[in-house]
């Protein structure tokens, strides 16, 4: 009989646990090793080289700015992404972070100079484009770059970390293009140019703030990774001076983040407000004999208002009071509820609602007319294909010369049903001279059929024989 193994002692269990923890810690350290395949000297050389804004780099930036501006103008995300892929804006930004991380003040001054010149060229190019562009509508891609939030700073931080880690490896891969797309440095600069060209300061300052926010936090991420990878310091600075610089940097970052935090809170509150209003409307409409045609939600500063456009029987005062009570219960405080109702006699809507309805009806009519035109054009083409006119006069003249035995010829597109579906078959009907032998007629039919296919450019023609025509007249 087998006996149970002796249970491990507490000391042995402790040893197993400690070895397991040590193995796990070693695995995590090796897996997450940031130093693995890092090439610090090569990375510093690459960043210094990519920082320079001169010669062909200027033209590449100008082209990418123009492409991005066109994409913003026509509201095309694909064009904007393409512009971000070829943009050289990341160079001076990474160099700025590396300069601060290595205490290289000479490199910092050069990087900032190249960055400012690059930003100026980009802003000037986009401004000139929007001054000359005939399209000045505010597209959604433009509006999306005017309200940066704390989340944009988060994207810049993680994008910058991924960027500097990717640059520091032996195989750089496609990290930098991905960072350029994620952090979206190019569109804000173009949007700022649009604001300057159209003298809309909210576009100019909002987009410039987003551009600077992204740039600073990409540089901050670069500084962090440079310190973690232990890039060699350009020179040793006084510890007191270093602490002072760090305090200045912390204060500057907090001041830069403050507006984005406020915007994020405002955007979040607006989203929550609209969600609560949608739930309120879904719970209370439609009601008996009253239809909610449309609604307008206003959330600007301290103004919170809901405009409801109703059709049908007007709501009684008790029903309106109940709606307002439910607004309070749903925590929609200080909200003005404005009802635009039809009157009981003639169901006449307010002028604003009537205008909206007319506009909707006109748009619907245009859409229907356009669809009808498309369908009619398709129907006409189908009929033309069915009629399929052929040059009958020329065909008959040629046939008389080539096939003198033909007495009568007719041609049509025959519509045939074979039990499975309908089919249109080009069909020729031929009458031959009665003096011709049957063998000769059959040979002529094969040659005539091939000639008709080539002459009429029809890959399929059916040839049918009619009875011969007797042209002799009997005497009365």
Both 212 and 333 in a single domain? no
Q: Mark residue 340 as left, alpha or beta (left: phi above 0; alpha: psi -120 to 50; beta: remaining).
A: beta
Weakest mean pLDDT among 162-171, 175-184, 242-251, 368-377: 175-184
pLDDT of residue 4: 54
Question: Could you report how far apart the first and last alpha carbons of the chain are, in Å?
Answer: 131
Number of neighbouring beta carbons within 10 Å of residue 78:
7
Number of neighbouring beta carbons within 10 Å of residue 448:
22
For the segment 153-170, the average pLDDT, to the nearest whole number, is: 78
Quick one: angle between helices 186-198 and 201-228, nearest 10? 160
Both 89 and 220 in a single domain? yes
Under 8 Å between Cβ of 68 and 190: yes
Secondary structure of 346-390 in HEC code, one letter for each residue: CCCCCHHHHHHHHHHHHHHHHHHHHHHHHHHHHHHHHHHHHHCCC
pLDDT band at 141 (very low <50, low <70, confident <90, very high): low
For the segment 357-363, the average pLDDT, to the nearest whole number, is: 54
Indicate whether 361 belongs to any domain. no
Query: Residue 414: is its pLDDT beyond 70?
Result: yes
Peptide bond into 244 cis (omega under 30): no
* Phi, psi angles (nearest 5°) of residue 396: -65, -40
Which is more confident, 138 or 95?
Answer: 95
Query: Residue 125: is its pLDDT beyond 90?
Result: yes
Torsion of CA 187, 189, 195, 198, to 10 degrees: -90
Tokens of 336: 């003005």
pLDDT of residue 344: 41
Computed on alpha carbons and rounded to an integer, the radius of gyration of the chain in Å comes to: 40
Domain tally, the chain: 3
pLDDT band at 175 (very low <50, low <70, confident <90, very high): low
Boundary (domain end) residue, out of 210, 236, 262: 236
* Most confident residue range from 93-97, 256-260, 312-316, 390-394: 93-97
Which is more confident, 368 or 262?
Answer: 262
Query: Residue 473: is its pLDDT beyond 70?
Result: no
Both 316 and 408 in a single domain? no
Both 223 and 168 in a single domain? yes
Distance CA 352, CA 350 (A): 6
pLDDT band at 3 (very low <50, low <70, confident <90, very high): low
Which is more confident, 1 or 438?
Answer: 438
Q: Encode burial over 158-168: b for 16+ CB neighbours within 10 A, e otherwise.
A: bbbbbbbbbbb
Residue 251: which residues within 8 A CB-CB, separation 6 or more?
A: none
Its domain, for residue 341, covers 274-352
pLDDT band at 348 (very low <50, low <70, confident <90, very high): very low
Average pLDDT, the chain: 78
Give the DSSP letter of residue 139.
-
pLDDT of residue 474: 39
Both 178 and 123 in a single domain? yes
Which is more confident, 333 or 198?
Answer: 198
Q: pLDDT exceeding 70 applies to what percent of the chain?
A: 79
Indicate whether 301 belongs to any domain. yes
Indicate whether 285 belongs to any domain. yes
Under 8 Å between Cβ of 188 and 156: no
Beta strands, E only, 231-378: 290-300, 303-312, 336-340
Under 8 Å between Cβ of 432 and 405: yes
Query: Residue 220: is its pLDDT beyond 50?
Result: yes
Weakest mean pLDDT among 373-377, 423-427, 437-441: 373-377
Residue among 35, 52, 48 at smallest CA distance from 98: 48
Indicate whether 247 belongs to any domain. no
Boundary (domain end) residue, out of 288, 321, 352: 352
Both 429 and 322 in a single domain? no
Weakest mean pLDDT among 45-49, 51-55, 230-234, 417-421: 417-421
* Phi, psi angles (nearest 5°) of residue 69: -65, -40
Indicate whether 404 belongs to any domain. yes
Both 341 and 221 in a single domain? no
Q: Which long-range contacts (CB under 8 A, 24 or more apart) does 406-409 make?
A: 406/430, 406/431, 406/432, 406/433, 406/448, 407/431, 407/432, 407/433, 407/468, 407/469, 408/466, 408/469
pLDDT band at 387 (very low <50, low <70, confident <90, very high): low
Q: pLDDT exceeding 90 applies to what percent of the chain?
A: 4
pLDDT, tens only, 333-346: 788 888 887 554 33
Dihedral of CA 234/240/242/248: which sign?
negative
CATH code, domain with 290: 3.30.70
CATH code, domain with 60: 1.20.1080
Indicate whether 371 belongs to any domain. no
The answer to whether the pTM exceeds 0.85 is no
pLDDT, tens only, 283-301: 888 777 777 877 888 887 7
Distance CA 234, CA 106 (A): 9
Indicate whether 90 belongs to any domain. yes
Query: Residue 166: is its pLDDT beyond 50?
Result: yes
Query: Residue 30: is its pLDDT beyond 80?
Result: no
């Amino acid at each position: 009989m087998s006996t149970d193994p002796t249970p491990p002692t507490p000391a042995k269990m402790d040893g197993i646990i400690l070895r397991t923890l040590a193995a796990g810690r070693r695995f995590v350290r090796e897996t997450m090793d940031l130093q693995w395949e890092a090439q610090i000297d090569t990375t510093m050389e690459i960043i210094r080289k990519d920082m320079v804004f001169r010669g062909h780099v200027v033209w590449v930036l100008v082209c990418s700015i123009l492409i991005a501006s066109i994409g913003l103008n026509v509201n095309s995300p694909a064009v904007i992404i393409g512009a971000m892929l070829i943009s050289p804006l990341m160079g001076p930004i990474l160099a700025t972070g590396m300069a601060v991380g290595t205490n290289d003040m000479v490199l910092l001054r050069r990087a900032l100079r190249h960055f400012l010149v690059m930003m100026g060229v980009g802003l000037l190019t986009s401004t000139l484009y929007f001054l000359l562009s005939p399209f000045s509508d505010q597209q959604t891609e433009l509006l999306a770059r005017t309200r940066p939030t704390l989340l944009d700073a988060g994207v810049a931080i993680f994008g910058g970390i991924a960027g500097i880690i990717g640059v520091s490896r032996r195989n750089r891969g496609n990290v930098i293009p991905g960072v350029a797309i994620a952090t979206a440095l190019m569109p804000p600069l173009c949007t700022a140019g649009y604001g300057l060209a159209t003298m809309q300061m909210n576009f100019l300052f909002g987009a410039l703030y987003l551009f600077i926010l992204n740039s600073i936090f990409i540089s901050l991420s670069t500084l962090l990774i440079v310190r973690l990878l232990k890039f060699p310091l350009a020179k040793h600075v006084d510890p007191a001076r270093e602490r002072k610089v760090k305090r200045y940097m912390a204060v500057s970052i907090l001041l830069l983040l403050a507006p984005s935090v406020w915007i994020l809170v405002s955007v979040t509150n607006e989203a929550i407000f609209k969600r609560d209003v949608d739930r309120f409307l879904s719970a209370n409409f439609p009601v008996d004999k009253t239809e909610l045609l449309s609604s307008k939600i206003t959330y600007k500063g301290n103004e919170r208002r809901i405009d409801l456009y109703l059709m049908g029987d007007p709501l009684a005062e008790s029903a309106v009071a109940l709606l307002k009570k439910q607004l309070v219960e749903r925590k929609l405080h200080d909200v003005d509820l404005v009802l635009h109702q039809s009157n009981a006699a003639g169901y006449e809507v307010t002028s604003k609602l009537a205008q909206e309805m007319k506009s909707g009806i006109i748009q619907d009519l245009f859409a229907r007319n356009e669809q009808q035109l498309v369908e009619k054009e398709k129907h006409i083409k189908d009929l033309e294909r069915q009629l399929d006119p052929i040059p009958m006069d020329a065909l008959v003249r040629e046939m008389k010369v080539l096939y003198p035995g033909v007495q009568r010829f007719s041609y049509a597109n025959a519509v045939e049903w074979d039990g499975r579906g309908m089919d249109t078959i080009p069909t020729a009907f031929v009458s031959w001279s009665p003096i011709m032998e049957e063998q000769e007629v059959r040979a002529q039919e094969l040659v005539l059929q091939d000639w008709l296919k080539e002459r009429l450019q029809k890959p399929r023609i059916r040839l049918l024989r009619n009875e011969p025509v007797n042209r002799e007249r009997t005497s009365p």
